Structure 1
Amino acid sequence: MGSNHSSLSGTHVFQSGQGQIGFNLMNSLQQSPESDTTRERLAGLDVQKRVTDELKRLQNKEDQISKAMDEQIVAETVEDSQFNRSSVSRSISTLSQKLRNKSGPIDQSEVVKTAETAVVRCLRLNDRRPLDCWREVEEFKREVTRLEDAFVNKVVGDV
């Protein structure tokens, strides 16, 4: 029943608003091995290729810009670190020289010697209970810290 309507007839004539489409054009379209889906697929692949090429071009441009920025940052960092590195190394060598010149026994002040003697005396008196000497130990720690601070200020203060 519907089989007669679905078969293709030999010639088709398409009419547009003012004239007919040329017979040669229609004939070449009908005899072309490409179907509409093939043409659509080829057109889609062409568009996809153009988009891919444009993305690659943009990616390359972005990579070049990124590389240039990285090189600029590295150059600035190297300049800054060399300046800092040289000044720090000079400071270290100056301090090392001063410490070598001042090496030797550290003079303990009388207050530190007195605090040390007090700790020793307390520990001897309380040999079974050394925790009772916490006040003397704290005083000794305080005096040693003061002596260390004075030494550091003396060495670093001369810079």
Structure 2
Amino acid sequence: MGSQPSKPDEVKVFQPQTQIDFSEALLAQLESSKESNFSRKQLAERYVEQKVSDRLSELEEDTLKKFESKLENSLLKNEPSEGDDSSLSSNALNEKIESLNKKLQVFNDNDNSKSEKYSKDKTRTALHKCLLENKGKPLNCYQEIEQFKKLVLDLD
């Protein structure tokens, strides 16, 4: 099975209808040539690989140039140009962001103080209600008193 090829090698010889005469110099040159089909194939592959590599390099350079130009155009300049009516620049935007962050921080601080005041009022109301319900028995309101003390001490 494996010792013989599956198809016998067939050598086809074509006989031309007209006689072809090659010069002796051409025949001698072809016979003395060190190139074989294999070496010609390798040279052709190297040539194709070189051309593909060159083309890929060109495409890569073009792509990088386009990317850099788009990136450069999309970035805001630090200083607006004189003819430009809009005052957009990276520095101006950073300043606006910082001012908005400060306003947001003030708002959050106010909101936190209101929620603390609300919880203080709620605790005081609960303590007052408990003391009214348990006249003469303030120890029944021990938990409410402790919550109120804790809240007042935390606020100070």
Which TM-score band (shorter chain)? 0.3 to 0.5
Q: Which has the higher helix share?
A: 1
TM-score, normalised to structure 1, is 0.46
Structure with larger RCO (C-alpha < 8 A, sep 6+): 1
TM-score, normalised to structure 2, is 0.47
